Amino acid sequence: MAVATIALPARIALLGNPNCGKTALFNLLTGSRQKVANYAGVTVERKEGTLHTAEGRRVSVLDLPGAYSLNALSHDEAMTRDVITGQSSEVLPDLLVCVTDATNLRLHLRMVLEARQLGLPMVVVLNKMDRARKFGIAIDEEGLSNALGVPVLSTVSVHAHGADALRAFLDRPVEATTPVPWSAPKLEQVLATQQEAQRIYQETVTVPVVDKDPSDRIDRVLMHPFWGFVVLALVLFTTFVAVFTLGSRLTDFIETGTGALGGLLMDHMAEGPLRGLLVEGVIGGVGSVLAFLPQILILFLFILALEASGYLPRAAFLLDRPMSKAGLSGRSFIPLLSSFACAIPGIMATRTIVNWRDRLTTILIAPLMACSARIPVYTLLIAALFPDEPVSGALVMVGLYTLGIVAAMAVAWVIKRSSGDRSRSPLLMELPAYQWPDLRSLVIGLYERAMIFIRRVGTVILALTIVMWALCTIPSPRSTTEGTPIARSLAGEVGHALQHVFAPIGFNAEISIALVPGMAAREVVVSSLGTVYAINGDPGDVENRLRERIASEWSLATKLSLLLWLVFAPQCLSTFVAVKRETGSWRTMWIMGGYLFGLAYLASLITYQLTTAITAL
Amino acid sequence: MNGSSAHPVPLDQLPEERWASVVDVVVPINNRDRGLVLRLVELGFVPGERVCVVAVGRPGREPLAVRVGHTTFALRRHEASFIRVILQP
């Protein structure tokens, strides 16, 4: 007979239903800043961190995607099941921390009972205990622990000391057990587990009788078939207005600052390559992108607040019917909304979509949602198109966003028609209780986004801009003394070659040059144009802003054509990588790239040729 | 059974804002639906549990937002039709 070994836990895993606060607890335990929000399916991949126990021992913590059951329906749930049932390459955790939402134990107890059958050492954590107390919910922790046969602790993951009980618990040794292999349960077994959960719940939890849930009252308006859409439209409109009025004013402010800085350097530095690099490359290029930080942060503020409130699943509920016309379901809404910030987290968020065809379609159309990296490019071009007409500019901006959405729905519809799959995909979406966004989390979330943007500007964008500057200033060996400085450079050579492809859609050499580094980061289109025009310009004239040059030097047809190009073009290598990783298929990646390039070229060609014909009349 | 109003109906036909309790779960023939029904049971749609339709989509009452216990789930009528409920007086 084997002797039971006793050891201190070195690896623990957090398991639980979606939206019970596992990631908030993980962040509190490890000091991480992983994303938390109020909807099911925020965490879609495993995250690892290290915590210090009360006695200072280091323990590795694994945060897993939430799962309603080990009998997984979606990709993220399957990942969790595989890790804790030993079906992945990973070593089983020494201790399973089964996290539950104390305000909704009835639902979460079933998962505890299911996890208990795995035979791993386990502790149950009652999270959100502060909220449970506020609602007058009383839980007999000792009774619960006796009924379950495992220790029970309570935590509050939004308080600094909210996990102290768990930290202390981890200094106690656990007895090694023999894991029981997992097999998918039958309906009778699930019903029996539910009966047990029901019995334990009634014995240990007392909930005050509440007449009406506050969330129900809010839902009466927000999920109303008419008023719900009015509110949704208002929410989207407010976001849009905030980003493009308040945000753009702050952007102008930064632009004035960088312009002044450039002027200062021009006046006080001796002429030479270093001054050129700083003024034309760094300030003219990188500065023009950095100026968009306020706008991008305002966009993220709105998205983060919406995510934290619990409203997004409701919006998905409302849009389920309209989206079904395009062959999608409400399940695709949150991934697509995230794509307005950036397509890559959006594509990853599709892991929660149960139906594979729906998931694939959502991945393929996510790049059509105008991501935040497009804001600088759109803003620059629109300002150049309508220098003194803010209303027309705003309408065009709305038009560009709408065009992306309409095109996405059309593509989804085509995929549905051609696949011949007529099955309705399930919805099964939890509508969590509303919560006020937590100010601290909002600030941290925004700070994280700001740092990501600044890091991106300081690394990828800066490096590319410097390379661009170098290529634009080093003369081509075959150059003559004629033409602009750019035309004589190495970059000019590339631009000239690209003209064979891009001349029919009206892109001049400068645009063609800027589009190439733009593949690594869309914003570089702006910084590259900034550099190209700064070099081509009068050296004393750095404050002459890019948009004025574009306004005067490009034809209307070219400007419109480039705008259309940017709506569709697969101008982002990271998105390609994400699509390959999520679908595991090179073919899907190339299909996405191909159809986006085709759409972009076609749209620009039609726009350019039509506008040229009309303006020539 | 108690009076003419108290006979089981599929959950998707339950009028809005009326509390009912789950009577039984119909086991579907096809595998895909069986997986869904299993999930509904795991989410708490078990005999004896109180449920209420709190909101519906338009047109055609699709999807449904159903309160079960302390949680609200958005379901399709198709999934909901496997849950049979009885109106509470």
Strand partners, B50: B21
CA distance A105 to chain B (A): 9
Low-confidence ranges of chain A (pLDDT < 50): 1-2, 539-543
Which of A298, A373, A338, A380 is CA-nearest to residue A574? A373
DSSP for residue A351: G
The boundaries of the domain holding residue A464 are 228-420+438-616
Rg (chain B; Cα; Å) = 12
Q: Is residue A432 part of a domain?
A: no
Q: Is residue B79 part of a domain?
A: yes
A259 and A142: one domain? no
Contacts of B78 in chain A (CB under 8 A): 424, 426
Torsion of CA A592, A464, A295, A235, to 10 degrees: 10
Q: Is residue A133 part of a domain?
A: yes
Q: What is the pLDDT of residue B19?
A: 93
Is A194–B42 a contact, with Cβ atoms under 8 angstroms apart? yes
In chain A, positions 345-374, which contact chain B (CB-CB < 8 Å)?
none
> How does DSSP assign A229-289, residue by residue?
HHHHHHHHHHHHHIIIIIHHHHHHHHHHHHHHHHHHHHHHS-SSHHHHIIIIIIIIIIHHH
**Which of B21, B22, B42 would you mutate first to test chain A, the one with the most A CBs within 10 A?**
B42
Distances (CA, A) of A128 to A39, A103, A107, A358, A581: 15, 7, 14, 34, 35
Q: What is the pLDDT of residue B41?
A: 95
Strand partners, B19: B52
A162 and A294: one domain? no
Q: Is residue A430 part of a domain?
A: no
- Within an 8 Å CB–CB cutoff, is residue B23 touching chain A? no
CA distance B88 to chain A (A): 16
CA distance B65 to chain A (A): 8
CATH code, B21: 2.30.30.90
Q: Is A152 helix (H, G, I), strand (E, B) or coil?
A: strand
CA distance A429 to chain B (A): 5
Residue B57 pLDDT more than 80?
Answer: yes
CA distance A145 to chain B (A): 22
CA distance A572 to A519: 5
Query: What are phi and psi for residue A70, nearest 5 degrees?
Result: -75, -15
Q: For residue A320, what is the nearest residue in chain B, using CA coordinates?
A: B63
Which of A132, A173, A111, A569 is CA-nearest to residue A374? A569
- Tokens matching residue A238: 């407010």
- The model's pLDDT over A56-95, given as tens digits with 9 standing for 90+, comes to 999 999 999 999 999 999 999 999 999 999 888 888 999 9
Cα distance between the two ends of chain B: 12
CATH code, A116: 3.40.50.300
- Within an 8 Å CB–CB cutoff, is residue A611 touching chain B? no
Is B72–A215 a contact, with Cβ atoms under 8 angstroms apart? yes
A518 and A392: one domain? yes
Of B32, B44, B79, Cβ closest to residue A428: B79
Q: Residues A491, A483: contact at Cβ < 8 Å? A: no
The boundaries of the domain holding residue B47 are 9-87
CA distance A493 to A463: 21
Is A68–B65 a contact, with Cβ atoms under 8 angstroms apart? no
Contacts of B38 in chain A (CB under 8 A): 71, 185, 187, 190
Positive or negative, the CA dihedral A303, A306, A312, A315 is negative
Q: What is the pLDDT of residue A617?
A: 80
Under 8 Å CB pairs connecting chains A and B tally to 114
Q: What is the pLDDT of residue A400?
A: 95
Which of A312, A146, A162 is CA-nearest to residue A154? A162
Q: What is the pLDDT of residue A537?
A: 64
- Within an 8 Å CB–CB cutoff, is residue B65 touching chain A? yes
Q: How many domains does chain A have?
A: 2
Q: Is residue A211 part of a domain?
A: no
Q: Is residue B1 part of a domain?
A: no
Q: Is A188 helix (H, G, I), strand (E, B) or coil?
A: helix
pLDDT grade, residue B67 (50/70/90)?
Answer: very high
Q: What is the pLDDT of residue B2?
A: 45
CA distance A256 to A253: 5
Our CA angle for A524, A528, A534, nearest 5°, is: 145
Residues 6+ apart with CB under 8 A from A144: A124, A152, A200, A204, A205
CA distance A609 to A504: 8
Q: What is the pLDDT of residue A474?
A: 83
Q: Is residue B75 part of a domain?
A: yes
Q: Is residue A428 part of a domain?
A: no
Query: Which residue intervals of A420-555 are DSSP H helices?
Result: 439-456, 462-473, 490-502, 509-515, 524-536, 546-553
Q: Is residue B82 part of a domain?
A: yes
A196 and A329: one domain? no
Distance between alpha carbon A397 and the CA centroid of its chain, in Å?
21
Q: What is the pLDDT of residue A211?
A: 61
Q: What is the 3-state secondary structure (H, E, C) of A36-105?
A: CCCCCCCCCCCEEEEEECCCCCEEEEEECCCCCCCCCCCHHHHHHHHHHCCCCCCCCCCEEEEEEEHHHH
Strand partners, B75: B64
Half-sphere exposure of A467 (CA within 13 A, CB side): 13
Q: Is residue A169 part of a domain?
A: yes
CA distance B4 to chain A (A): 28
- Tokens matching residue A603: 């749209």
Q: For residue B68, what is the nearest residue in chain A, using CA coordinates?
A: A107
Query: Which residue intervals of A366-389 are DSSP H helices?
Result: 374-385
Q: Is residue A351 part of a domain?
A: yes
Is A428–B54 a contact, with Cβ atoms under 8 angstroms apart? no
Q: What is the pLDDT of residue A491?
A: 85
Our CA angle for A441, A446, A447, nearest 5°, is: 95
A202 and A233: one domain? no
Strand partners, A390: none
A243 and A187: one domain? no
- Tokens matching residue A327: 């062959």
Q: Are strands A152-154 and A122-127 parallel, antiparallel or unpaired?
A: parallel
Cα distance between the two ends of chain A: 96
Q: Is residue A213 part of a domain?
A: no
Strand partners, A123: A97
Q: What is the pLDDT of residue A203?
A: 95
